[in-house]
Amino acid sequence: MNTSASAIALRRLTRANALFIEIVTGLYDDQASKWPVITAPSPKWHLWHISRWSDIVQSTLLPVANGESDLSNKGAQLWEALGIADEWGLAISMPGKLGGGTGLTNAEASTLGLPDLTRVVGYPRSSFELCEMRFAQIDEGLFESDFYDWDGVRMQVGDAMFGHISHINRHLGMIEAIKGVLGLNGSVTD
């Protein structure tokens, strides 16, 4: 087994993504859409949010993976390239910071108007797969190199990769808690 930091990051990302899909696909749409209280977004909102950030992260890593000299460039995002916001009929096509939902008020997030879960889940599968592909392109040399993240901050690629994994796991835990509040088995790892 490859024990390099970049290989570990890819394994952890792949596992977190699989758990994220697993925890929401076991829900009915009404359960996935439920906001237990206005300050606790629905599992479907968390799925959309992490999908958007996976898309943002993969587009940010693209110039690094392609060996481009201008690391401030960004690649294409599936969200924009496929016109998903329009397809879903969202009133705001790029809600929150970078269109990933960060910074929305709870009221704004709760009225985003996400479609039913069966439509929503296709986007995460694609954005997760693309982000995993991007992580797989990062070798040990690139992992320790500097680049500009989604905020234009210069940092090491590996730091950004593990930061994204941490972000996924935080939202996975939120869904586990929401499922528990809804009276369902919350743990995805039983």
Answer yes or no: is 188 within a domain. Answer: no
Domain count, the chain: 1
CA separation for the pair 82, 90 (Å, rounded): 14
| pLDDT the model gives residue 95 | 63
In which domain, by residue range, is 157 found? 5-181
Predicted model pTM: 0.91
Q: Which amino acid is at 54?
A: S
Answer yes or no: is 78 within a domain. Answer: yes
| pLDDT the model gives residue 99 | 61
- Which ranges of 26-139 would DSSP assign to H, the alpha helix? 29-32, 43-65, 78-81, 84-88, 106-110, 117-120, 122-136
| pLDDT the model gives residue 148 | 83
| pLDDT the model gives residue 20 | 93
Q: How many helices (H) and strands (E) does the chain have?
A: 10, 2
Answer yes or no: is 124 within a domain. Answer: yes
Q: Cα separations (Å) of 39 from 2, 43, 182?
A: 41, 13, 15
| pLDDT the model gives residue 165 | 96
Per-residue pLDDT of the chain (190 residues; tens, 9 = 90+): 778 999 999 999 999 999 999 999 889 999 999 988 888 899 999 999 999 999 999 999 998 888 876 766 778 899 989 998 889 888 666 666 666 667 777 888 787 889 999 989 999 999 999 999 999 999 988 999 888 888 888 889 999 999 999 999 999 999 999 999 989 887 777 6
| pLDDT the model gives residue 61 | 92
| pLDDT the model gives residue 23 | 92
CA separation for the pair 133, 57 (Å, rounded): 11
Answer yes or no: is 186 within a domain. Answer: no
Answer yes or no: is 187 within a domain. Answer: no
Which CATH number covers residue 116?
Answer: 1.20.120.450
Answer yes or no: is 108 within a domain. Answer: yes
Answer yes or no: is 99 within a domain. Answer: yes
Answer yes or no: is 190 within a domain. Answer: no
